[in-house]
Structure 1
């Protein structure tokens, strides 16, 4: 077995594609309209679906917003340099909602960004040598683990 994709319902598909592709650097792998069901599916990711887990963005025509509820948490992306990644995301117009720093009850360096539909994306520092720049942010975590 292998994890194939995670589906997120989005209110504005074009804005979501700009976020995941232009800001987070994913590629649009495939997109298809389903006129009979009045929805569009777009698959994005960092590699081909044959060997990578991807995100399925589902846009139901005529629905502009969803209630995200309180059960959904986030998706996570590992990065080599979390501070540079957050700076790039901000430069590209992305919204960093939790600056990089150690997680609330541990030492793993994390940050959170928010997509146009309000979904949280956690960034996790992968390389220990890049974990702490000269001026580290010590903001408390806004999302509990």
Structure 2
């Protein structure tokens, strides 16, 4: 797992001293009793198969919480810092061993489009940016295409260090075994069961199928490097 395209430092420096986001802002980012998928203050919540975390068995449906205050859903504190209004989640970086396998998975299996590739010969690595965009809208001119790529929302940046594909000892930690860290990315689909049927036909590795475990109607699959990908349907998340 690498980086994400928005940092705390960027947020902190975007506003003048004294704005709410630069004074005690951790109270906004880290609710003291927020439950986590790794247990923590909310208690351990395990789901079959081992490794996936879920709510306690007695709870039968998702319960959206309002206990964290209006700032989580509103913009009262954002309005005091106009520089934040155009911020967006732009990219998540994943290191990959073999770009041919990874590009095939993210384009052919998950249906993403390769937006742009960058090579860095002196440092021997390449970057591949992918997302759910119409190929017809990708600009042909290099500078325009670059600016366009970095203006897309929720892209995946695959980082390939040259030679890793031929190194038998090279692999990347997916964050879901000790020491735990990164968990997964999520892909929204219209029909989870249909999507998973297609994945099965393509030989995709499943961590959890839609009807397995206590959380029904969502799935977890793995990409070629073992990173977990949640497959969900926005319209059914309250009933999982």
TM-score by length of 2: 0.49
Deviation at 1:103, TM superposition (A): 7.0
Give the Cα separation in 1 of the matches to 2:117 and 2:224.
19
In 1, the alpha carbon distance for the partners of 2:128 and 2:119 equals: 9
Distance 1:97 1:124, change over 3 A: same
Q: For 1:120 and 1:110, locate their aligned partners in 2 and report how far apart those are by CA, in whole Å.
A: 13
Q: Note the aligned Cα RMSD (angstroms).
A: 2.2
| Residue equivalent to 1:10 | 96
Which has the larger strand fraction?
Answer: 1
- Asked if 1:118 is matched to 2:219, the reply is no
Is 1:127 matched up with 2:235? yes
* Residue 25, structure 1, aligned to residue 106, structure 2: no
Deviations along 1:55-108, one digit per CA (max 9) or x if unpaired, are 00000112342233421100011111000000111222322221013874x66x
For the pair shown, the structure with the greater C-alpha radius of gyration is 2
Tell me, in whole angstroms, the C-alpha distance in 1 between the residues paired with 2:203 and 2:112: 15
How far apart in 2 are the matches of 1:103 and 1:33? Answer: 42
Q: Which runs of 5 or more structure 1 residues have no equivalent in the other structure?
A: 133-145
- Whole-Å separation in 2 of the counterparts to 1:23 and 1:44: 13
Q: Residue 68 in 1 paired to residue 68 in 2?
A: no
Please say if residues 81 and 127 of structure 1, whose CA atoms lie closer than 8 Å, have aligned partners that are also in contact.
Answer: no
Instruction: Give the match's secondary structure for 1:72.
Output: coil
- What is the rounded CA distance, in whole Å, between the counterparts of 1:12 and 1:27 in structure 2? 18
Residues in 1 aligned to 2:225 and 2:122: alpha-carbon distance in whole angstroms: 24
Of the three residues 93, 100, 122, the one matched with 2:210 is 100
1:45 aligns with 2:131: yes
Alignment deviations for residues 29-66 of structure 1 (CA, whole Å, 9 cap, x no partner): 11122111100100111127434210000001123422
Unaligned runs of 5+ in 2: 1-86, 134-147, 165-169
Relative to the length of structure 1, the TM-score reads 0.78
Deviates more, 1:119-128 or 1:38-47: 119-128
SS at match of 1:55: strand
For residues 10-37 of structure 1, what are the alpha-carbon distances to aligned partners after superposition, in whole Å with 9 as ceiling and x for unaligned? 0011100011101011111111221111
